[in-house]
Every structure is written in structure tokens, then in C-alpha cells.
């Protein structure tokens, strides 16, 4: 999904072993001019979680960073600002670890208007709402228009721009982080006081389970997602256009020129949006069809084939160079594939490398964009007494 328009746009451990948590000194290093060298993954007897300081917000509030390591050496770093997954170090086919998500090495860049939601938890409503308004139970609610004429990712100050309360999780030898916040009634124009909990669980099979839960005291709309930008060759390694992507969808939701769905569910067959069989992302990204031109590449929602109450395969991704793979399973009905179209060479990432168009991709599990204004789309309404509860799993591998 595009950069913020208000600036113009992650061997199972034996049951019963306890994970440890201990303070650790900050390991942040000055940005270098090249990606960090890969280090071979080392197995450990137990998974660990450590906390250090990541700095302070522009307003002076402390931001913590948690480093989670599983028994196979995979590492996930999470900061309390935006619930950001700042680094995700995953082994390749030779067992060498490398960070596979885009991001920054300081709080200021995450807090800046130029941050394209790197690694953030997105809410209260992920994706776009047309015209910055919606009607619920006969009442119209007006939202900030931060993406041209529309609202994107919850408005000017969404959940990506908030400090989350963090609590370490230890579960059957696995480690994780439970992140909580409360969104007040009327925040960014949305009705209802919303209590949110997002849990990241780093499992010992090199998968990351993400669980989103929310409750409200008034009817509202909710659509939470995770906005990591992946590059399986490694952060700072260049384009993802050679990555092979497969999406479990026969249809997608076409958009207008402002990237709002038209309400249709169009067949992917015979179009650049056909990822039913794995193909290089770059194969059709310069196609001259209007849908590609609207997003300057892919920035669309796919209608998943097997939506239901259980986890189902949404997409799979492979980098031929490193052999790293990613499978995404979800309970959501859609997935937004964004091919990093608006990365423009103005942002410097964690390795000191400048991010250019196509240097990372997002695969955001979700309900459909603009669902509050589209009665034919799956509902995103949450009412008092109900619980918003949905899971997504990232399964990493190599071959």
C-alpha cells in the first residue's frame, strides 16, 4: 500500500522449558553504506526475549525494543512505537541469517510523516475509506483525508503512530510480545472506545503468529493488519521483482484512479493480476492496463478463494537467489499486495541503503478496502459485546 499521502505518499523447543527475559544494552549501530553481512543461524536450548531502549519519540516518550530469538536462531525485533517489527532475521538455504524487512534504525524516522508504515500495526481501519466518511446505523462519521480525497490506514494519526504497552509472552517454549492500546471514542473520527490487543508469537519452526483482538463500547468499524515490507533476499539488497509470488485468489477488487474499489470482484484470468501460479513480480508490473497505471504497479486487494473460520493459505513468496520462502495463512477474506511503488529513493533504511521503487513488498491480510461504504463486501462492523478476533501466520522456510 502506498506511502502516506499527507507527504504527497517474521526443532520446536521441549515443552515446559521457560523462555528468559533480561535487560540488554542497546545494540543500535550507525548506519553503514552496505547491508550487514549474513551470519549463520545457531540453535539454542531455549527461546529468549530481551528488552533495550530504542530511543525517544519527538515528544520525549520512551520507546522500548524487544528482541525475540527462537531455538533455531531466527530473530524478531519489535518496538513499542507503532508495534513495528523493526527487524526479522531469517535463515537462507545455507542457514545464513539476514534481515528480510524494511525499516529504520531510529524512532524519528518512524515518527516522521515520510514513514510509509514500515512494519507497523495498522488501525483503526487498514486500507482506504472513500471520501473520508462512512455511515453506520444512520449516522455519518467524518474522518481525516490523508490520502488525496480518501482516508488511509486510520487517518492522520493511526495505530502506527501510537505507543503501545508491551508485555512479554512465554508459551510452551515459545516467546512473543502482547501489545495493547486503547483508542478513545472519536479518535480520528471513528466512533466508540476501542480496546486493542495484538500478539506476536515467534515459534520454533520459524513462523510468526499474529493475533488481533478488539472490543468496543459503541458500534464502530475495525480492520487491523500488519504492514511489513518484505525482501527475502535481504533488506537493502535491491528489487523484489525477481521474487516469485503466488496468491490463492481467482478474483481481485478493481479500483478507481484514487485506489478505491469500484465494488466489482473481477476475474484475474487473462490479466496481470493472475498469480494463481507463481510468477516473477516484475513480469507484468509495467503492463499498460489502467489498473496497473492507477497504482503505478500492484496496490490491490485480492479476494481469497477459501475464506472461512480457520486459517487458509493466502499467498506464498520465494526468492530464487537466497532460497528463502514465505507462506501467509490467514482467517481474513482478502490480501492487499503492494509492490513498493511509491518508494522513491528519499528514505534510508536500517542498513544505510536508500530504498527505491520495488525494494520491498507488502502482503497485508485484511477485510476489503472501503467496506464501510460497500454493502456487497464482507462487513467490518464491530458491535458492543462482540469480539474482533483474527489470526495471520507467516511461515518462513528455505529451499
Rounded CA separation 371/377 (Å): 6
Domain boundary among 165, 182, 217: 217
Cell of 92: 537462507
Q: Is 300 annotated as a binding residue?
A: no
Residue 43 pLDDT: 80
Q: Is 113 annotated as a binding residue?
A: no
Residue 239, pLDDT above cutoff 70: yes
State percent of the chain over pLDDT 90. 87
* Residue 196 sits in the same domain as residue 248: no
- The helix (H) or strand (E) run that includes residue 154 is none
Domain boundary among 217, 237, 269: 217
Rounded CA separation 26/236 (Å): 22
Rounded CA separation 45/173 (Å): 10
Active site residue 227: yes
* Residue 168 sits in the same domain as residue 254: no
Is 145 within a domain?
no
Is 174 within a domain?
yes
Is 399 within a domain?
no
* Residue 213 sits in the same domain as residue 236: no
Q: State yes or no: cis peptide before 124, omega within 30 of 0.
A: yes
Rounded CA separation 242/91 (Å): 19
Residue 42 pLDDT: 77
* Residue 20 sits in the same domain as residue 168: yes
Average pLDDT, integer, range 199-219 = 99
Handedness of CA 383, 209, 126, 156 (dihedral sign): positive
Residue 91, pLDDT above cutoff 60: yes
* Residue 178 sits in the same domain as residue 283: no
The band of 40, judged by pLDDT with boundaries at 50, 70 and 90, is confident
Average pLDDT, integer, range 301-315 = 91
Domain boundary among 217, 238, 258: 217
* Residue 211 sits in the same domain as residue 236: no
Question: How many structural domains compose the chain?
Answer: 2
CA distances from 333 to 89, 231, 298 (A): 29, 24, 18
Q: Is 355 annotated as a binding residue?
A: no
209: β partners: 201, 393
Rounded CA separation 286/31 (Å): 33
Average pLDDT, the chain: 92
Q: Which of 331, 332, 364, 395 is catalytic?
A: 364
Full-model pTM: 0.90
- The DSSP call for residue 81 is B
* Residue 376 sits in the same domain as residue 234: yes
* Residue 289 sits in the same domain as residue 387: yes
* Residue 318 sits in the same domain as residue 173: no
Is 303 within a domain?
yes
Q: Is 299 annotated as a binding residue?
A: yes
CATH number at residue 386: 2.70.98.10
- The DSSP call for residue 36 is P
**Domain encompassing residue 247:** 229-393
Burial of residue 385 (number of CB atoms within 10 Å: 0-12, 13-18, 19+): exposed
CA distances from 152 to 125, 146, 157, 188 (A): 8, 6, 10, 11
Strands 133-136 and 139-142: antiparallel
Residues 93-143 have pLDDT tens digits of 999 999 999 999 999 999 999 999 999 999 999 999 999 999 999 999 999
Is 370 within a domain?
yes
Rounded CA separation 255/292 (Å): 10
Q: Is 125 annotated as a binding residue?
A: no
Is 193 within a domain?
yes
Is 151 within a domain?
no
Residues 8-29 have pLDDT tens digits of 333 333 333 333 344 443 333 3
Residue 36, pLDDT above cutoff 70: no
Residue 44 pLDDT: 82
| DSSP count for the chain of H helices, then E strands | 2, 32
Is 135 within a domain?
no
Average pLDDT, integer, range 297-322 = 94
* Residue 201 sits in the same domain as residue 234: no
Q: Is 128 annotated as a binding residue?
A: yes
* Residue 11 sits in the same domain as residue 89: yes
* Residue 240 sits in the same domain as residue 173: no
Q: Which of 227, 243, 300, 367 is catalytic?
A: 227
Amino acid at each position: 500500500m502506498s506511502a502516506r499521502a499527507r507527504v504527497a505518499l517474521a526443532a520446536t523447543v521441549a515443552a515446559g522449558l521457560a523462555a528468559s527475559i533480561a535487560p540488554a544494552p542497546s545494540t543500535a549501530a550507525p548506519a553503514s553504506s552496505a547491508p550487514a553481512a549474513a551470519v549463520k543461524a545457531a540453535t539454542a536450548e531455549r527461546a529468549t526475549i530481551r528488552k533495550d531502549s530504542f530511543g525517544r519519540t519527538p515528544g520525549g516518550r520512551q520507546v522500548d525494543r524487544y528482541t525475540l530469538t527462537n531455538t533455531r536462531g531466527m530473530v524478531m525485533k519489535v518496538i513499542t512505537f507503532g508495534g513495528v517489527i523493526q527487524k526479522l532475521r531469517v535463515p537462507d538455504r545455507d542457514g545464513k541469517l539476514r534481515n528480510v524487512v524494511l525499516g529504520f534504525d531510529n524512532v524519528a524516522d518512524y515518527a516522521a510523516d515520510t514513514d510509509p508504515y514500515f512494519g507497523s500495526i495498522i488501525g483503526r481501519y487498514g486500507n482506504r475509506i472513500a471520501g473520508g466518511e462512512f455511515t453506520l446505523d444512520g449516522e455519518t462519521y467524518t474522518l481525516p483525508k490523508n490520502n488525496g480525497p480518501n482516508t488511509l490506514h486510520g487517518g492522520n494519526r493511526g495505530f502506527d503512530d501510537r505507543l503501545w504497552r508491551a508485555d512479554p509472552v512465554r508459551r510452551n517454549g515459545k516467546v512473543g510480545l502482547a501489545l495493547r492500546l486503547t483508542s478513545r471514542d472519536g479518535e480520528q473520527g471513528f466512533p466508540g472506545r476501542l480496546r486493542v490487543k495484538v500478539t506476536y508469537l515467534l515459534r520454533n519452526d520459524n513462523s510468526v503468529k499474529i493475533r488481533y483482538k478488539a472490543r468496543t463500547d459503541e458500534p464502530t468499524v475495525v480492520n487491523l493488519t500488519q504492514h511489513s515490507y518484505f525482501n527475502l533476499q535481504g533488506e537493502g539488497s535491491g528489487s523484489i521483482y525477481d521474487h516469485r509470488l503466488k496468491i490463492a485468489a481467482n478474483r481481485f477488487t478493481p479500483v478507481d484512479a484514487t485506489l478505491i474499489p469500484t465494488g466489482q470482484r473481477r476475474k484475474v484470468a487473462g490479466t496481470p493480476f493472475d498469480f494463481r501460479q507463481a510468477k516473477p513480480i516484475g513480469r507484468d508490473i509495467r503492463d499498460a492496463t489502467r489498473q496497473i497505471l492507477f497504482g503505478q504497479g500492484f496496490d490491490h486487494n485480492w479476494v481469497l478463494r477459501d475464506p472461512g473460520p480457520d486459517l487458509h493459505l493466502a499467498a506464498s513468496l520465494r526468492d530464487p537467489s537466497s532460497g528463502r520462502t514465505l507462506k501467509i495463512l490467514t482467517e481474513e477474506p482478502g490480501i492487499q499486495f503492494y509492490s513498493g511503488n511509491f518508494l522513491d529513493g528519499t528514505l534510508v533504511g536500517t542498513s544505510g541503503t536508500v530504498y527505491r521503487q520495488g525494494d520491498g513488498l507488502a502482503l497485508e491480510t485484511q477485510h476489503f478496502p472501503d467496506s464501510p461504504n460497500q454493502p456487497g463486501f464482507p462487513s467490518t462492523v464491530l458491535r458492543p459485546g462482540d469480539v474482533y478476533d483474527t489470526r495471520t501466520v507467516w511461515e518462513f522456510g528455505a529451499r
